[in-house]
Amino acid sequence: MVRRGWYALPDANPDVVRAVASGAVLGCVSALVYYGVWDTGHPYLHVFRSKHGRRMPPGKIGWCRPVHVDRATGSAVVSPMLALRQAACCVEPDDLVVLLDSVINTRLLTRQEIDEALTGLASHVRTAISRMDLAESGTESLARLRIRRLGVKVKSQVRIGGVGRVDLLVGDRLVIEIDSIEHHTSQSAYHRDRRRDQILTSMGYVVLRLTYEQVLYHWDEMEALILSLARSGRHLARVAGPGRASQRLRVPKLPLDSRPIRFERANRSTAGRLDSDDGRQSRSRGG
Ligand SMILES: [Zn+2]
């Protein structure tokens, strides 16, 4: 018995058992992860407490921020729609976009169900919905959001003739692929990735492969690299022939040198750090 009236089978999900044992049920981002959504990483288990639950949960468990739902649930895990509504009130804006991308990618909810689940919430939630896009991983979503913030045009999951879909296309011809160990380390994946790179290069694309760790823990260095390629204009030239991207982007109207000052500053500071021996990331990250 986990708690009065609740029993767990031997193979029960340990997060669910912990949530129920605490007097609550699994909710918010922890419930979304249970349903297969990308884990944005949280230091504690997010649980949803009915009005009969105990006041203080034990250990690394946290009540989520209040959400405008106050009803007991008969399940040990809240529904996907309620979990998303709770998460929208609980996580940072970028993490919410990552969750939304993943909810769509895993087909956990339809676009209509997402709208229904998030109706009536604060304006930043509507903004997150508008920033939702195709992505096969959370790292891909994060990279897209951060590159867009630099003022550089980027598209997700672009189909290129003769190659298939690439993760991100920056400008016209800078292809960014984000490689997880899970999907890119087998021998067949190793050969497939190199063949794709060779074909893309022969078509005039510039290919940049980023690892999971580089996106999550060394983004400043990756940002400097992307900005340096963008400043040199290597992302802009047209790609001719059948390999042209089917969702090819427009060339930005402003030349790079007349972009907003923030773009210039970001480039100088990060490019300088790339050349230094000090690999620490000291620049504070602005919005
Ligand atoms: Zn939460």
Nearest CA among 75, 64, 2 for reference residue 29: 64
Going from N- to C-terminal start, the domains of the chain cover 14-130, 138-265
Look up the CATH superfamily of 138-265.
VSR Endonuclease (3.40.960.10)
Q: One digit per residue, pLDDT tens: the chain, 287 residues?
A: 878 788 888 899 999 998 888 888 899 999 999 999 999 888 888 988 765 555 555 556 666 654 444 455 678 899 999 999 999 999 999 999 999 999 999 999 999 999 999 999 999 999 999 999 999 999 999 999 999 999 999 999 999 998 999 999 999 999 999 987 677 667 788 888 889 999 999 999 999 999 999 999 999 999 999 999 998 887 787 665 656 666 443 333 333 333 333 333 333 333 333 223 333 333 333 33
Tell how far the Cα of 46 is from the centroid of ligand 1, in angstroms: 5
Tell how far the Cα of 180 is from the centroid of ligand 1, in angstroms: 26
Tell how far the Cα of 89 is from the centroid of ligand 1, in angstroms: 7
